[in-house]
Structure 1
Amino acid sequence: MRSTSDRIRHAVSFELIGLILVTPLAAFVFHMPLFDIGVVSAGSAVIALLWNYIFNWGFDHAVRRLTGSTRKSQVLRLLHAVLFEVGLLLALMPLIAWYLRIDLWQALIMDAAFAGFYMAYAYVFNLAYDRVFPLAEWKHETA
């Protein structure tokens, strides 16, 4: 199981790298000022940072309880990314609509685009993170 400091390193690095990638991309795709997208991205990142810690802690406990290990198969990694983004989508959509003064439908489309980006990004980031920072318990398990 990951330590608190490891979870904090994971969450902060995930959000910082994500912000660097998504902010200019979203400003370009949605034809909105970089500043406005930056505010939405940064605010979303703060909420996502908290959600990341809480969700990953709960997900790891559930996986460990169900399988006896925190090692994730490819199917579990996909489930992890989808569940994380669905929860975040529900939290962020009304905030995006409010700040950008757009209707909920437009916010849903924008949030879904962010979620699509972040689902792919989360999968790649978490796979890389687990390879760079493997847990000791994984060395004693078979793949």
Structure 2
Amino acid sequence: MTNSPTSSMTRALPAEHRERLMCAAKEVSFPHGTRLFEEGGRADRLWVIRTGTVALDIHVPGRRAAVIEVLGHNELVGWSWLFGPHTWHLGAETTSPVRAYEFDAMEVRAMCQDDPVLAVTVTQWVGDVLAHRLRAARTRLLDLYAPYGS
């Protein structure tokens, strides 16, 4: 499990912005093996994990989906909701029972539209998470598919 410093909501957002977002949070739980979303699906929610783990995966034609990263406590699940066309770029599945805070993406985007300072903070947080996930995906795919010794 990789817990990058910027993926943690508590480290990435000032207290006032966390509190504002948490007003929109709904507590949810998922059993082990639940697909949260599939690549190409509508990205209309995001989650911050309270307990448990979620594996991010990428579809590889003719093979099993490749797990890119496993996320845990206080990490953001989902970034595609922030950037158009609001479709998932990866898939996600719980690898243990999960309790999380769930947010409606349209509500969070509306909050950001109403508060430019919140928007910058949230965009920076999600952008940092996105950059980390792209590096993780590149590394994992090279591990899986690059010629040995390259």
* TM-score class, shorter: 0.3 to 0.5
Scaled by the length of structure 1, what TM-score is found? 0.38
Scaled by the length of structure 2, what TM-score is found? 0.36
More strand by share: 2
More helix by share: 1
For the pair shown, the structure with the greater C-alpha radius of gyration is: 1
